[in-house]
Amino acid sequence: MSADQAAPGTKQAHTRGLSRRGLLALVGGGAAGAAVGAAGTAAILAAAGGSDERSHQLSYPFYGEHQAGIVTPAQDRMHFAAFDLAEGLSRDELIELLQDWSYAASRLTQGLEISVAGAFGGGAYMPPDDTGEATDISPAGLTVTIGFGRSLFVTAAGDDRFDLASKLPSEFEDLPKMMNDFIDREQSGGDLCVQGCSNDPQVAVHAIRNLTRIAFGRAQLRWSQLGFGRTSSTSTAQNTPRNLFGQKDGTMNLKAEEPDLLDAHVWVGANQGPLWAVGGSYLVARRINMSIEVWDGVQLGEQERVTGRNKKDGAPLSGGTEFSQPDFSAKGEDGALLVDERSHVARVHPDNNEGIRMLRRGYNFVDGNDAQGRLNAGLFFVAFVNAPERFASVHKNMARDDLFVEYLKTTASSVFLVPPGVSDGQYVGQQLFEA
């Protein structure tokens, strides 16, 4: 599909197009956008594997009841970014930014460039609207998910910048400090976030790069994270992947094919409110560094005791297959519990956490090495829940005495509210601003 063809279901959005300020940002912010994208592209392409033609032709609609990128079958690559809004930005300018992002995302997810002029049709004497590096490989299953930080409603200093404080959900709280938290505040939080997931690393980076350019003068990049190799499955059609410790990860994750469970654990319900947020979800992002070199020296039997699962097939140590329910009362011939009560599976299992479940959507990361020559690597943990406290409750139970915590260190933590989906011609968050 060429850049000047309309994506299915986006007639109104394409008629509106990018705002004048959004188009000017592509000119004025071109250099800044290139700087953000160039380093990210190089890093993520280094980890790229082979190309699957079918996965590159796959596309998901931007519009719908819920935002894409939550229950969508988890793609293989991710570029996550958080933004701070410019000082003095008005409410109308914030709305305009969300309109511009929604319009651009509706095109990108269909494999189009961010505007009709695109990367090649804007004339020889102007910077192109689109940076062009994904032209031949889009859409590659791209999803763009936009979320709001608590500071969008009220800042830490108590400022109500956009007349939104009265719309702040009572459940929207940052996570409390937990055991083994070594949080870098500069790599946490933000007014807005964008999660770009794709089956091709360059497509994910391209999306964040171009949305960053569009935001020039209105929002600036606060922090970002590249991820590869999904660490959970969000569909029954997907196999369970492995994390950097070589374990099957997210075996009991919620799936898209379980709507009743999603309603109970993921989507904000009408009984929670406020009304504008119903159908949305809270995104919890935790950057968890893994002590790779230490773990690699641990005996296999101890690795399995720590996790409570067989490393090869993911089955609980109480027996069965990967998807068998653990039996936390089963004992061996020596009278000891087969699944240690301090093992990871025991500490986070719903049976031991008042039935709380969440939808996990994390990714591995390797960001070079640290000053001691160790891998700066781990898990960029992303989970969706219908109240942050539900995640905090499970994590506190884990952090208190989970054997696994010895090998983990959380270095960044953020919570965002992902608004519900919107219809063709609307923009993400419209329910909030019109409430």
pTM of the model: 0.90
Whether 214 shows a pLDDT value over 60: the answer reads: yes
Helix, strand or coil, per DSSP, at residue 375? strand
Q: What is the pLDDT of residue 16?
A: 66
φ and ψ at residue 362, rounded to 5 degrees = -95, 175
Cβ contact 361:383 at 8 Å: yes
DSSP state of 277: G
pLDDT, tens digit, 9 for 90 and up, residues 317-358: 999 999 999 999 999 999 999 999 999 999 999 999 999 999
Q: What is the pLDDT of residue 55?
A: 73
> If you count them, how many residues does the chain have?
435
What is the torsional sign of CA 142, 226, 426, 14? negative
Q: Which residues pair with 287 in a beta bridge?
A: 380, 412
pLDDT above 90 coverage of the chain, percent: 82
Give the residue with greater pLDDT, 278 vs 36: 278
- The distance of Cα 213 from the centroid of its chain, to the nearest Å, equals 20
Interval 391-428: pLDDT, tens: 999 988 887 789 999 999 999 999 999 999 999 999 99
Per residue in 113-142, pLDDT tens?
999 999 999 989 999 999 999 999 989 999
Q: What percent of the chain has pLDDT over 70?
A: 90
Q: What is the DSSP string of 299-362?
A: -HHHHHHHHTB-TTT--BTTSS-TTSPP-TT-B-TTS-BSS-TTSHHHHHSGGGTTT---EE--
- Does 167 have pLDDT greater than 90? yes
Q: Could you report the per-residue pLDDT of 343-401, keeping only the tens digit for each?
A: 999 999 999 999 999 999 999 999 999 999 999 999 999 999 999 999 999 988 887 78
Tell me how far apart the alpha carbons of residues 253 and 235 are, in angstroms, rounded to a whole number: 9
> Residue 42's pLDDT is what?
35
Q: Is pLDDT larger for residue 27 or for residue 219?
A: 219
